[in-house]
């Protein structure tokens, strides 16, 4: 199957000020996004996530390197690429005064969706993003979560096989973020390829088939969550849960060369108490992140200023 995105030695250097060294916002990165997968770009503030996305969607010119998007060459075919992808930037690009419905119809007009299909398609998108009730409400009057959902709906107006989402759930409350994640998971079921950037480890873990961890413009790891965890795990751990005669419960981790050895070691330490459970312990994605980046996991929770505030509902 064709790759949805193939990136080779992509680099963006900004010359910020005359007396400052140039900033390598994106520093010689390589990766491939498979058709049909949800691919996560996970990294802290300033890592280069948005810059990468802006290069791949034709909003910023790479300083060096190249990419192919949907089999088309970024350097020469950007106009054709733009017609075939959906893009949801951090800040919505919809019109405040237009209703939810009209915003969708307008997006379809821009993408050349035939007039006869626009109405039906707009109603379908509203229903799917649970916005039918808000059909005639101006965009400005929607809640933050609804705005985000409508912006994604508009990016899907022309049924793109590939969609880019820049931090789709940042600034949303827990419920809205959860709803949006369900919608993103739904896209995957339909076979849409999703490239998404996020700060949230948990979001990446739940939604993404594969994750690239990006720090200071470089990809420090790229794999499935399972493989990242296996790579980060140096020893096998099991967790032994015991209950004594008074039903006091104790839980302790026990190491071993293999799961079997750890379990055997655990069973040798029961002191006659009842064994309630022996579970294999796996590192969390947070453990993986800390190990690979040397950063604390809470760097990911730092909210950015001037982005509309709100709670970081992870
Ligand atoms: N137009 C620009 N001119 C100069 N520097 C820029 C420009 N755009 C981005 N940068 C710098 O490039 C680096 C990467 O920024 P980018 O927006 O790609 O990060 P990000 O991973 O999206 O961060 P965030 O999580 O905060 O959105 C940052 O140091 C940023 O200040
Ligand atoms: Mg960004």
- Nearest ligand 1 atom to alpha carbon 51: 18
Between strands 64-69 and 3-14, the pairing is antiparallel
Q: In the prediction, which pLDDT does 306 show?
A: 39
| Ion ligand 2: protein residues whose beta carbon lies under 5 Å | 49-50
Please give the residue that has the higher pLDDT: either 188 or 256. Answer: 188
On average, the pLDDT of the chain sits at 90
Q: How far is CA 153 from CA 115, 121, 206, 242, 285, in A?
A: 18, 10, 21, 51, 30
For atom 2 of ligand 1, the residue with the nearest CA is: 14
Residue 305 has pLDDT above 60, yes or no: no
**What is the token pair recorded at 55?**
């290069």
For residue 214, which ligand has an atom nearest its CA?
1
Q: In the prediction, which pLDDT does 277 show?
A: 87
- Nearest ligand 1 atom to alpha carbon 52: 18
Where b means 16+ CB within 10 Å and e means fewer, 143-170 reads eebbbbbbbbbbbbbbebbbbbbbbbbb
Number of helices (H), then strands (E), belonging to the chain: the values are: 10, 13
Find the range with the poorest average confidence among 68-77, 91-100, 223-232: 223-232
First-residue to last-residue Cα distance in the chain = 33
Sheet strands side by side (includes 38-42): 85-88, 162-166, 193-198, 38-42, 210-215, 218-223
**Boundaries of every domain in the chain:** 3-230+288-301, 234-281
Q: In the prediction, which pLDDT does 294 show?
A: 81
Counting every residue written for the chain, the total comes to 314
Superfamily name with CATH number, domain 3-230+288-301: P-loop containing nucleotide triphosphate hydrolases (3.40.50.300)
Residue 55 has pLDDT above 70, yes or no: yes
**What is the token pair recorded at 294?**
């040397």
Share of the chain above pLDDT 90, in %: 63
Confidence of residue 141 (pLDDT cuts 50, 70, 90): very high
Beta bridge partners of 275: 242
Q: What is the pLDDT of residues 178-187, one digit of tens each?
A: 999 999 999 9
Q: How far is CA 91 from CA 64, 105, 116, 144, 159, in A?
A: 27, 20, 30, 11, 21
For atom 28 of ligand 1, the residue with the nearest CA is: 46
For atom 6 of ligand 1, the residue with the nearest CA is: 14
Residue 2 has pLDDT above 80, yes or no: no
Between strands 85-88 and 162-166, the pairing is parallel
- Ligand 1 pocket test target in 10, 15, 50 with most atoms within 8 Å of CB: 50
- Alpha-helical runs (H) found in the chain: 49-56, 78-84, 100-110, 115-128, 144-155, 174-189, 201-207, 225-232, 259-267, 285-293
Confidence of residue 302 (pLDDT cuts 50, 70, 90): low
- Nearest ligand 1 atom to alpha carbon 43: 21
- Ligand 1 pocket test target in 25, 43, 303 with most atoms within 8 Å of CB: 25
């Amino acid at each position: 199957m064709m790759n949805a995105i193939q990136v080779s030695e992509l680099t963006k250097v900004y010359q910020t000020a005359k007396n400052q060294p140039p900033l390598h916002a994106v520093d010689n990165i390589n990766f491939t996004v498979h058709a049909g997968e949800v691919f996560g770009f996970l990294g802290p503030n300033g890592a280069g996530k948005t810059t990468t996305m802006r290069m791949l969607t034709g909003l910023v010119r790479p300083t060096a390197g190249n990419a192919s998007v949907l089999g088309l060459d970024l350097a020469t075919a950007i106009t054709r690429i733009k017609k075939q992808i959906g893009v949801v930037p951090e800040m919505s690009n919809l019109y405040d005064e237009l209703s939810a419905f009209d915003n969708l119809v307008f997006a379809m007009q821009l993408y050349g969706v035939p007039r006869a299909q626009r109405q039906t398609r707009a109603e379908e998108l509203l229903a799917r993003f649970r916005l039918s009730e808000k059909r005639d409400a101006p965009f400005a009057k929607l809640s933050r979560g609804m705005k985000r959902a409508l912006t994604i709906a508009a990016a899907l107006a022309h049924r793109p096989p590939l969609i880019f989402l820049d931090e789709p759930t940042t600034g949303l409350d827990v419920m809205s973020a959860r709803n949006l994640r369900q919608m993103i998971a739904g896209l995957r079921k339909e076979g849409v390829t999703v490239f998404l950037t996020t700060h949230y480890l948990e979001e990446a873990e739940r939604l993404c088939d594969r994750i690239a961890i990006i720090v200071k413009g470089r990809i420090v790891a790229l794999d499935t969550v399972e493989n990242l965890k296996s790579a980060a795990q140096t020893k096998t751990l099991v967790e032994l849960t015991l209950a004594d005669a008074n039903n006091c419960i104790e839980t302790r981790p026990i190491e071993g060369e293999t799961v079997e050895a750890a379990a055997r070691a655990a069973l040798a330490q029961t002191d006659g108490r009842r064994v309630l459970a022996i579970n294999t312990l796996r590192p969390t994605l947070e453990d993986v992140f800390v190990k690979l980046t040397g950063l604390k996991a809470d760097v990911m929770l730092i909210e950015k200023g001037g982005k509309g505030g709100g709670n970081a509902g992870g």
